[in-house]
């Protein structure tokens, strides 16, 4: 028995010895090897500073710089370290009032007496120089550098977007109070790529608030990783030209390269200088822009849903051909008792109907599609016919949000039977209720980007690449594979040539509605539209692609309250086409047209 107790005693002693060794080893590690407690004890002499990365640059398709970074400085404060100081001098250095200074110190203490927070943000590099010379007088204050965006060409504000301080709704742990984040446009969509990765460093300061270098030679510091550059598809020269043409007009221009889906230009007018939403004046300028009755912050190219008007007749033609209810030789009289129309001869075939934009003709085409004889009951027949029509129309990228690399995109509307059931009730509507869809009116809505994509589909004879703004990302020049995929319509390609021939005649043959879009030695194919506006003069619309063979550009121009599509939208589109293909406008007549379009003020029509 005694032997058993002796054995237990040794076990207990051994346990105490082992535990003692563990404690001694841990104390040795904490006191000799690990500096974390030393760091904590020396917070009054050390500062943990965030290294903000340079945000990724943005270039145009020809490597012109659209967005770069400029250094600014935030004045930081640690309330617990603040001692008595000359408030008058600090207010003068920073450019603030004494009342504002007191308020900011109060907010900083409420945030945390021990942690650093922003006292005054975005101090310019000029003011920083004066401040840095005197900063030793202000214990608890220090300066932290970061960058702000600059826009050297002052164009493409809606496409590029802007950055702002993170709000309470941002849950990503990467961000903390005072950080900046993309708020709109490419800045928002590509935020995770552009922002880079923050670093940090521990800096030693003496009792005079002077920096003495990195703690332990920077072994605890981490390096900031700059954001990736974006190589956009925008053509800076074309974009600037489009914004010039749309001066004193309300509407939009969207131009796409048909063979890739790359967006060459996106103009929303009125617009604004993107530099207005940068720096300490951002808040004031944003409020001014927000209150402007012309709504310059509203991106009409992506968010304005309009009736497409007569440009939809070319899609109506394809659906009629695909469904076999018409052929290219089908003729209908211009019966104005069915639908109002301008004066022109009867359409002897489909091409002449498109060329002259005959409303009664397309009333008949749509009627044949909707009243297709799929059911004996006319209500059921209309339901089946409309859903069939809707299915074909949606394949053109309409009535849905295209996967464009930009936020806040509207989807528009292509009505189906369920839509009208909700309005009128099931089996309570028929063709006679919805015939205005035949000419792109009624409950149909399309955004200008979708209109330009329609032009690209006709240029490609039946397919499109999803429109996008960025053609390459970073040094490796990667691209989202989504943008390399062809999207096919539900109309066979053989029918597109018939309609494209008609679009050629719209511009280039006598009796066509878009003669002002004609360009010597560049063959333009297009379609005018005049969308009804119950609140004022009709909207002017034109879509086109050029050249006819191997098209390089597809375009849509939409000008609010400008009247007939051939008068304003068509010539502006033709100038954009010539500018892109030739790089300049040639010939006295074309230059006269250019001057007239630039100087036209259509704002008075609103």
Res 36 pLDDT > 60: no
CB under 8 A, 24+ apart: contacts of 419-428 = 419/443, 420/386, 427/377, 427/379, 427/380, 427/383, 428/379
Arithmetic mean of pLDDT, 420-433: 94
CA torsion angle 485 552 232 475 (round to 10): 70
Instruction: Examine the pLDDT at 491 and tell me if it is beyond 60.
Output: yes
What count of residues does the chain have? 606
pLDDT beyond 50 at 43: no
Supply the pLDDT for residue 93. 87
What number is the average pLDDT over the span 461-484? 93
230-232/58-59 β-pairing? parallel
Select the more confidently predicted residue: 347 or 506.
Answer: 506
pLDDT of 200 above 60: yes
Residue 94 pLDDT grade (very low, low, confident, very high; cuts 50, 70, 90): confident
Contact (Cβ atoms closer than 8 angstroms) between residue 319 and residue 369:
yes
The answer to whether the CB of 541 falls within 8 A of the CB of 516 is: no
Secondary structure (3-state) at 113 = coil
Evaluate if residue 145 carries a pLDDT over 80.
yes
Mean pLDDT across the chain, nearest whole number?
89
Mean pLDDT over 226-237 rounds to 96
**Best CA proximity match to 48, nearest among 111, 115, 147, 141:** 115
H or E, element range at 416 = none
Q: In whole angstroms, how large is the CA radius of gyration of the chain?
A: 33
Q: Which residue has the tokens 């404690």?
A: 23
Q: SS3 letters for 543-592?
A: EEEECCCCCCEEEEEEECCCCCCCCCHHHHHHHHHHHHHHCCCCCHHHHH
CA distances to 71, 121, 145, 191 from 163, rounded to whole Å, are 15, 14, 17, 9
pLDDT classification of 146: cutoffs 50, 70, 90: confident
Write down the pLDDT at residue 26: 67
Q: According to the 3-state scheme, what is the secondary structure of 467-479?
A: CECEEEECCCCEC
Do 480 and 486 form a contact (C-beta atoms < 8 A)?
no
23 vs 363: CA distance, rounded Å? 91
Band (pLDDT 50/70/90 cuts) for residue 41 is very low
Give the pLDDT of residue 382.
Answer: 94
Please give the DSSP secondary-structure letter assigned to residue 346: P
Q: Please determine, for residue 71, whether its predicted confidence score (pLDDT) is greater than 60.
A: yes
pLDDT reported for residue 33: 58
Tell me: the pLDDT tens digits for 270-282? 999 999 999 888 8
CA–CA separation, 471 and 152 (whole Å): 21
What is the pLDDT, as a whole number, of residue 212? 65
Question: How far apart, in Å, are the Cα atoms of 95 and each of 87, 89, 130, 287?
Answer: 12, 10, 12, 22
Residue 51 pLDDT exceeds 60: yes
Percent of the chain with pLDDT over 70: 91
Cβ proximity of 253 and 222 under 8 Å: no
Closest C-alpha to 275, from 263, 285, 261: 285
Over range 387-411, report the average pLDDT.
Answer: 96
Using an 8 Å Cβ cutoff, are 301 and 444 in contact? Answer: no
Of the two residues 47 and 142, the one the predictor is more confident about is 142
Query: In a 3-state reduction of DSSP, which class is residue 390?
Result: helix
- Of 526, 143, 151, the C-alpha closest to 310 is 526
pLDDT surpassing 90 at residue 15:
no
- C-alpha–C-alpha distance, residues 285 and 414, integer Å: 38
122 compared with 379, residue with greater pLDDT: 379
User: What distances in angstroms separate CA 426 from CA 281, 418, 420, one per listed residue?
Assistant: 55, 8, 8
Average pLDDT, stretch 384-401? 96
For the cut 60, the answer to whether the pLDDT of residue 2 exceeds it is no
DSSP H or E run through 11: helix 2-28
Residue 304 tokens, joined: 């304005």
Q: What is the mean pLDDT of residues 508-521?
A: 91
**Phi/psi of residue 148, each to 5°?**
-120, 160
Q: Given the structure tokens 């012309």, which residue do they identify?
A: 294
User: Side by side, which strands form the sheet with 525-531?
Assistant: 262-269, 251-257, 553-559, 539-546, 525-531
| DSSP 3-state of 253 | strand
Highest mean pLDDT, choosing among 4-18, 125-139, 433-447: 433-447
What tokens does 256 get? 């796409």
Return d(Cα 455, Cα 308) in angstroms, integer: 13
pLDDT band at 29 (very low <50, low <70, confident <90, very high): low
Taking only the tens place, the pLDDT of each residue in 566-585 is: 889 999 999 999 999 999 99
pLDDT above 90 for 461: yes
SS (H, E, C) 89-102: HHHHHHCCCHHHHH
Confidence category of residue 39, pLDDT binned at 50, 70, 90: very low
Kindly indicate the confidence band of residue 259, based on its pLDDT and cuts at 50, 70 and 90.
very high
- CB-based contact 227:193 (threshold 8 Å): yes
SS3 for 198? Answer: coil
């Amino acid at each position: 028995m005694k032997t058993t107790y002796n054995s237990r005693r040794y076990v207990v002693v051994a346990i105490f010895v082992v535990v003692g060794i563990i404690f001694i080893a841990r104390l040795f590690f904490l006191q000799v090897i690990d500096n974390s407690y030393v760091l904590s004890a020396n917070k009054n002499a050390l500062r943990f500073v965030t290294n903000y990365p340079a945000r990724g640059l943005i270039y145009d398709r020809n490597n012109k710089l659209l967005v770069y970074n400029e250094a600014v400085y935030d004045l930081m404060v640690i309330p617990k370290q603040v001692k008595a100081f000359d408030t008058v001098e600090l207010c003068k250095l920073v450019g603030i009032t004494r009342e504002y200074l007191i308020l900011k110190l109060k907010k900083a203490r409420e945030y945390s007496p021990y942690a650093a927070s922003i006292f005054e943000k975005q101090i310019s590099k000029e003011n920083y120089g004066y401040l840095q010379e005197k900063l030793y007088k202000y214990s608890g204050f220090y300066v932290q550098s970061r960058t702000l965006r600059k826009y050297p060409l002052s164009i493409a504000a809606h496409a590029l977007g802007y950055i702002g301080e993170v709000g309470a709704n941002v849950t990503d742990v990467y961000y903390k109070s005072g950080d900046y984040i993309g708020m709109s446009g490419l800045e928002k969509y590509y935020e995770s790529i552009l922002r880079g990765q923050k670093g940090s460093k521990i800096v030693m300061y003496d009792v005079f608030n002077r920096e003495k270098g990195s703690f332990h030679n920077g072994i605890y510091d981490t390096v900031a990783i700059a954001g990736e550059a974006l190589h956009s598809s925008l053509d800076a020269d074309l974009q600037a030209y489009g914004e010039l043409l749309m001066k004193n007009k309300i509407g939009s221009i969207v131009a796409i390269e048909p063979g890739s889906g790359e967006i060459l230009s996106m103009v929303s007018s009125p617009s604004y200088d993107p530099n207005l939403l940068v720096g300490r004046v951002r808040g004031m300028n944003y409020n001014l822009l927000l209150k402007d009755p012309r709504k310059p912050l509203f991106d009409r190219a992506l968010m304005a849903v309009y009736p497409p008007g007569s440009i939809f007749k070319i899609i109506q033609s394809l659906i009629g051909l695909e469904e076999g209810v018409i052929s290219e030789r089908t003729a209908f009289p211009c019966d104005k008792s069915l639908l109002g129309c301008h004066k022109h001869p009867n359409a002897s075939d489909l091409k002449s109907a498109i060329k002259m934009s005959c409303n009664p003709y397309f009333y008949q085409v749509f009627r044949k599609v909707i009243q297709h004889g799929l059911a004996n009951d006319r209500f059921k027949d209309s339901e089946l016919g409309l859903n069939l029509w809707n299915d074909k129309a949606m394949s053109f990228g309409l009535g849905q949000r295209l996967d464009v690399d930009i936020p806040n995109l509207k989807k528009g509307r292509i009505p189906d039977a369920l839509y009208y059931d909700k309005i009128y009730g099931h089996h309570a509507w028929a063709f006679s209720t919805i015939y205005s869809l035949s000419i792109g009116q009624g409950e149909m809505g399309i955004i200008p980007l979708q209109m330009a994509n329609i032009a690209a589909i006709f240029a490609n004879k039946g397919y499109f690449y999803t429109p996008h703004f960025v053609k390459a990302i970073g040094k490796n020049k990667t691209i989202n594979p989504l943008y390399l995929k062809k999207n096919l319509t539900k109309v066979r390609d053989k029918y597109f040539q018939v309609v494209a021939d008609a679009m050629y005649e719209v511009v280039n043959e006598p009796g066509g509605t878009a003669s002002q879009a004609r360009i010597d030695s560049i063959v333009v194919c297009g379609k005018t539209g005049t969308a009804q506006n119950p609140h004022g003069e009709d909207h002017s619309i034109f879509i086109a692609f050029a050249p006819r063979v191997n098209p390089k550009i597809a375009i849509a121009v939409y000008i609010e309250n400008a009247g007939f599509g051939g008068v304003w939208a068509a010539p502006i589109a033709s100038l954009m086409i010539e500018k892109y293909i030739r790089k300049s406008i040639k010939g006295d007549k074309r230059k006269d047209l250019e001057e007239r379009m630039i100087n036209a003020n259509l704002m008075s029509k609103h």
